[in-house]
Structure 1
Amino acid sequence: MTATAFDVVVIGGGIAGVSIGYELADDRTVCLLEQETTLAFHTTGRSAALYLETFGNATVRSLTTVSRAFLTDPPDTFDGPLLSPRPYLVFARNGREDALAEFCREVRQQAPAVEQVSADEAVDLAPYLRRDAIGAGVLDPDADDIDVHALHQGYVRGLRRRGGQIRTNAPVTALHRAGGGWTVTLDDGDTVTAPIVVDAAGAWADHVADLAGATTAGLTPMIRTIFGVDAPAALTTGALPVVNDLDDTFYIKPEANGLLCSPADETPSHPHDVKPDDLDIARAIESINEVTDLNLRRITSSWAGLRTFAPDRSPVVGFDPRVDGFFWFAGQGGYGIQMADGLARSGAALFRGESLPGDVVAGGVRAAALTPGR
């Protein structure tokens, strides 16, 4: 059994862990622990991420907006570009136009380029939509695809370049605090010590908090299913927008020569290596076929991931109110990739006892909206 000392131990190797680890490694020695044999095995590695300033609550949207500059012009450890244009179209079925107009008014406060479009214009943008099935649309022309792998790996390279160490296949089995520091025990008997532990364990974050005797945050992992289909031969996917039903019965994202589809499901779950549910896929196909001419029958692939939410759907970031030296960086839901920069910089500032970064505050985010126990 060996013991190694660091300033900070970060638990979790998805986008949350590598981004906060990168920021903290600027002036701390950091060890990142990942329970799986590879980083980003669960949610991050299964994400069909978009950059959407219209996505999430006000806190999430603000953190997304302030992250655009980083995603557009990242440091040299990142393979750019991380963003590529992909318009985002939300449509309303007949009779839901008023709700769509309210959605448009709300999100334009954060993303002024968003505009309402007619049903005819929506069909021009996404020709597979059935004109008789939809009432109107809302277009975000400034949405983008995010290269999730390049973003994650850029943080990994940056963390290592700053001296951070990363251990995979390192499940944490015990956390013990004594003498102002933590001893983190791994399942192989090794231990790692540090004054502060950062809980960036995603769907497992409340489990890590239990090991530490911290106040759990009421986080709920929720299943999100994705499946692939072939695009019709006559449909050119390159310029198509992502299409989302206002009522979240499905979304469709162009991908190479095919389409990624999702029932936009949010089924509460325990943390585990989640698999897609055939019934959820069947329901999504039924909803898609109701309002499109795609006539889906056969899928080419399917998978599922866990998106973990606090009750108010804002991230949980800050020191635990009950246990010294335990820092939360969790509850990122389905937004962790698009707001990675803004949230990681905010987390690092709170970790150091500083105010939130100026651009984050100017965007309307307050530390009280992130703090554990709020």
Structure 2
Amino acid sequence: MRTIDTLVIGAGIAGLSAAARIARHSETLVIERESAAGYHSSGRSATFCHFGIGDGLVHKLTAMSKAVFAAPPEGDHPPLAKRMAAFFVARAEEEQQLDRLTETTLAHSPDAERIAGTDLQSIVPVLKTGPDGFASGLYDPDAYKLDSDAMLQANIRVLRSAGAQLVTDAPVEAIRRDGERWIVDTPGESYAARRIVNAAGSWADTLASMADVNPLGLTPLKRTIIAFRPPEGTDVSDWPFTKTVGAGFYMLPEGSGRLLASPMDETPSEPCDAQPDEEAIALAAWQVEQATTMPIKRIDHKWSGLRTFAPDKSPVAGYAPDAPGFFWLAGQGGFGLQTSPAMAMAAEALALDLDWPGELAAQDIRREMLSPARLGNQFSRSSTSAKV
């Protein structure tokens, strides 16, 4: 049995970014059930940083994280992000939703501007406008397309430079409390840790139940993305990330002349290796064709991932009230990548009982906002033998 100070379970962006910071203070190990980091949600996201998702807390975490994405890379490593505008479009009956989004965005991106009528087509020429199309939009030039692989690898480099280790192909088979330590069994080795960080994504509640800890009531929701080519001769390279403020879709250029699009579906799912279904694929294509003048003749690629939310849709970071040394890092939904620098900083302070970072305080982000205690203990424990 290997003894460790901090054992992080889950090598998605949440677990790796937190581990990279915690490893500066504490002997740290990350274990991952799959063969590679970011196999599930972190590696399947369209990875865009904007203010059109989440609540006020998510917006504050995003604002703080955006400064990290804007910074130039260190050494010869690739940048974590590139600047790309975000464009939110609304039909006439959705003006109030766009007004609220405008207020939120301007608080963090003062160069954002409202656009109306046919001027929308000066930004995305294929958009339908008028009575059967979009009436207005919000253009934010200061948004970022994130590189999920670069983000994962950057955190792995920091982790290893601190002397920490990432172990893949290590699903959790059992977990229990033994005195002052947690014992975690995997097929290859068992670990005894002072603290465990539950960053298991869609499996976070399953892991808690294995440990006889009250689950949070997390909900995994499946989302589908398709890749397709625009009509021949259409240059999409300078198009922004485009998203409807209400029900509809988002799309963005992929970088190889193709477009990515999602119907923003949210289908409840068990934790799994999510796969797209035909209905969601067809819905994505239909949404794009209804909102634009583009026919989609062929879908080049399609995939799905799970976005896991806490009951109040805000992220969770903090020790379980009913289990000493069991640290929750979960519920980061579809905003995990864009908030990961801020969430990692918060997790570091909370897990190690450090002073609250000034960068978080400056955004009026407080410890209690992230605490699992805010959710109560309304969810009962259940035993399970599932591997995490």
- If the length of structure 1 is used for normalisation, what is the TM-score? 0.95
Q: Is 1:20–1:347's contact at 8 Å kept on the other side of the alignment?
A: yes
In structure 2, the partner of 1:6 is 4
Alignment of 1:152-167 (within 5 A): 152-167=152-167
In structure 2, the partner of 1:43 is 41
In structure 2, the partner of 1:331 is 331
CA distance in 1, matches of 2:98, 2:208: 40
Cα 1:10–1:75 change in 2 (3 A) is farther
In structure 1, the partner of 2:262 is 262
Alignment coverage as a number of residue pairs? 371
In structure 1, the partner of 2:251 is 252
In structure 1, the partner of 2:185 is 185
State yes or no: 1:195 paired with 2:225.
Answer: no
Alignment counterpart, residue 80 of structure 1, candidates 78, 81, 88: 78
In structure 1, the partner of 2:359 is 359
Alignment of 1:102-181 (within 5 A): 102-132=100-130, 133-181=133-181
Q: Is 1:203–1:308's contact at 8 Å kept on the other side of the alignment?
A: yes
Q: Secondary structure at the match of 2:173?
A: strand
The RMSD of aligned alpha carbons is 1.5
In structure 2, the partner of 1:340 is 340
Aligned residue identity for 1:191: S
CA distance in 2, matches of 1:43, 1:204: 12
Deviates more, 1:262-271 or 1:45-54: 45-54
In the TM superposition, what is the alpha-carbon distance from 1:179 to its structure 2 partner? 1.8
Q: Runs of at least 4 residues of structure 1 off by over 4 A?
A: none
CA distance in 1, matches of 2:70, 2:101: 27
Cα 1:291–1:54 change in 2 (3 A) is closer
Q: Is 1:54–1:110's contact at 8 Å kept on the other side of the alignment?
A: no
Post-superposition CA distance 1:7-66 (Å, at most 9, x none): 010000110111111010001111100001111110011111011134321111111111
In the TM superposition, what is the alpha-carbon distance from 1:233 to its structure 2 partner? 2.1
Q: Secondary structure at the match of 2:337?
A: coil
Q: Is 1:77–1:155's contact at 8 Å kept on the other side of the alignment?
A: no
Aligned residue identity for 2:271: P
Q: Gapped runs of 5+ residues in structure 2?
A: 375-388
Q: Is 1:101–1:116's contact at 8 Å kept on the other side of the alignment?
A: no
Cα 1:54–1:290 change in 2 (3 A) is closer
In structure 2, the partner of 1:221 is 220
In structure 2, the partner of 1:294 is 294
- If the length of structure 2 is used for normalisation, what is the TM-score? 0.92
Q: Gapped runs of 5+ residues in structure 1?
A: none
Q: Could you tell me the percent identity over the aligned residues?
A: 36
Aligned residue identity for 2:218: L
In the TM superposition, what is the alpha-carbon distance from 1:187 to its structure 2 partner? 3.0
CA distance in 1, matches of 2:213, 2:76: 35
CA distance in 2, matches of 1:165, 1:266: 35
